[in-house]
Amino acid sequence: MENKTRNMEFPLRPSEQKWLSRPLLIVTVIIGIITAWLVLRSFGYQPVVMSDEQRFSTYSRLLPLSDASVPSYLFYFIYGITNQCGQAFLDCGRLLNVFFLCLSSVPIYAISRYWLTKKVSAYVVVLSLMAPAGYYTIYYMPEMLYYCAFWMTAWTILREGRQPSTLAGACISGIAIGLLSLIKPHAFFLLPAYFIFKSFLYISYRSKISFLRALTHLAGALFTMVAVRFGLGYIFAGPAGADLIGSMYGTALNKSTQDVPFHTTLAILHVLKGHLLGILILFAMPIAASSMAISNSGITNSYDVRKVMLLVACILLTMLLVTAAYTVQVNGITRYESIERMHMRYYFFLFPFFTIFAAIYAGNDGLRPKNWQKILVVCLIGVTLYAGFVGLKGYAPSPIDSPDLWAISTTRLSLILFASLQTFSLIIFLIRPASSSKFFIYIFLPLALVVTAIQFPGFLNHYRAPSPADQAGMMFDLTIGSAVPVAVIGDDDSDATRTIFHLNNKDIEKYLIPTNALISYTFLPKRIQWIINLGENPFSPDINGQMFFSAPGYSIWHVSTGNWDIDFSAPVWPGVKEIQGVSHAESFGRWSDQKQVVINFTVAIPIDVKLKLIAGAFAKNVDQPFDIKIGNQHQIFKIKQDVSVFTTDFKNIEPGTHEIIITVPDAISPKDLGMSGDPRKLGASLVHLSLEPIGSN
């Protein structure tokens, strides 16, 4: 009786037979094997997506969440546990990625079971685990957590569609979307799709639910989403948690809200074209199959199918527009950003839905398309062939942004082959949709997985052996540790970022300077004690550097700035080799007792400095011109009788200068003036002198 009831509830699902004596055990073993394969596949590589991985690693493990440029606070909170793994934090992050990918199989299976048998649902899960997007487990990025959370959220939302909506169900969906937005701010773009989905539900159940009640449910979902997003955002990051999209995406958004020129609109259309063609090469058959749910008397339970297809279509269209606009806005910002780049990872989480859509009709052998559906399929055939033979020229699918499309388009022959296979599935669809469905899910998709498994290792092998930049970061973290300020200097931003990725250090400065340019405290903060030199840049004379370690492609230096700070009341002065022309120490400082005061520092003075002198003049020297000389530069200044402060800038000092010479206008003794028996030739009471390199902090 129970099976009969289930078949009445979901008549589309073919009658289920016992496919193995212990199906749960078999499925568990298969998923266990796939999990082990995913773990083994994800290890043994250096970081790949440098700027993104370094950013997410830093905010997860090292810096306050309030400093994050992308408000992925829930990701940072969860992946902060990788800090407990020490230098193995990257591998721990990959384990978490594999866990979340495997966890996503639960909602994918649950959603598949709305229409598919246990066997086919399990098969869909296996395909989703082995899909090219699974290679995102290698990256220290939110993709896998977002993927899993999205499917949990989709499951929650679709459960609302099985019966008249309740306020509790709407609020649970709002909570899910709020949590999703704390992983990636892209989740906000699900809201239009959710509102349309809820509106469709109201139309479906309008005889059972009033408009006011439906509006209340929608308001409840929106309220809980906002409460979760801003409440947890504040808990995680304080006032900074109120920023919806963060400074990184905010910059692009501010640019995009300005007047949009005509050529920008054309560029967005160009990007959209590439994405649509790529989607057709991958999923033209499921798109054709989706049309069967719109109006075909041979389809039962099509109403439920239409609900999920509407939700997926709205999400996909929204994300396509957002992706195209973002691609155009960041075009040319770095050498990696171009209008040809295909950011399909912004909506890759939807791809298992296409497999479900294709599989829905595999058991309906008597199903035939209507005339308008045949016209649609013919159009899809033409566009798919165009995409495979001509259309994707000028676009650049990459293993990072669009692994599904990249894997089958590494060669022109491969792209044409898969476009032709997709076209063949559409031709079969015109005659027998069920056979087309089987061809797609049992031949096309597995073949794409095989090609991916062949292509991806070649790409990842570039990141298997640590580069000199990787070695530099790992060596420094292993030998020096994280307690000291360090500067990473080189001429390539990617290499410098790669080095920083391996440093468990909160106090890091990155400088990109031309090859052979001087490393100088003119731009380095004085607090820097260590330098990782990724090139062969020499040190300027103002840096006292001692090589700690050197290897091909990098060197590690312990450095110190000259201590150009003199308290004249102190008995000794670190960083000063010798001072001539001053007397013994007194409570205020020291008197100058010769015509010239010569200060010789152990480390060369920077070429641009700010000098600060605290002193007072004696007798005839009050308001008289003192001459202060540093290398080839000198300035005249006057000193009051009372102790006062004199500051000035010296620029373009001759490199290698170690001396400061202060010339006294009229050195004279108290004895000559009849003031006392002191015979010293006094000129100025020196209290304090310091030099600060201009440009340091």
Taking only the tens place, the pLDDT of each residue in 32-76 is 898 899 999 888 899 998 889 999 999 999 888 988 888 999 999
Average pLDDT over residues 237-250: 80
Q: List the strands of the sheet with 486-490, edge to edge.
A: 508-512, 486-490, 530-533, 554-561, 543-551
Which pLDDT band holds residue 605 (cuts at 50, 70, 90)? confident
- The reported pLDDT for the residue numbered 254 is 59
Vertex 308: Cα angle to 404 and 445 (nearest 5) = 25
309 or 24: which leads in pLDDT: 309
Average pLDDT over residues 167-192: 92
Q: What is the pTM of this model?
A: 0.80
Average pLDDT over the chain, rounded to whole? 87
pLDDT of 442 over the 80 cut = yes
- The reported pLDDT for the residue numbered 100 is 96
Give 640's DSSP letter.
-
With 0-12 / 13-18 / 19 or more C-beta atoms within 10 angstroms meaning exposed / middle / buried, residue 266 is: exposed
Average pLDDT over residues 466-495: 90
Instruction: Report the share of the chain in percent with pLDDT over 90.
Output: 53
Query: What does the buried/exposed string (b/e) look like for 71-96 if buried means 16 or more CB atoms within 10 Å of the residue's CB?
Result: bbbbbbebbeebeeeeeebbbbbbbb
Q: Are the C-beta atoms of residues 305 and 115 closer than 8 Å to each other? A: yes
Unique residue bearing structure tokens 């969440």: 65
- The reported pLDDT for the residue numbered 86 is 85
- The reported pLDDT for the residue numbered 405 is 93
* Strand ranges, E, within 347-386: none
Pick from 5-19, 572-586, 643-657: least confident:
5-19
Query: What does the buried/exposed string (b/e) look like for 121-155 if buried means 16 or more CB atoms within 10 Å of the residue's CB?
Result: bbbbbbbbbbbbbbbbbbbbbbbbbbbbbbbbbbb
Pick from 289-293, 451-455, 467-471: least confident:
289-293
Distance, in Å, from the CA atom of 403 to the CA atom of 419, rounded to the nearest integer, reads 16
Distance, in Å, from the CA atom of 518 to the CA atom of 524, rounded to the nearest integer, reads 11
Sign of CA dihedral 621, 624, 625, 628: positive
User: Tens digits of per-residue pLDDT, 419-437?
Assistant: 999 999 999 999 998 899 9
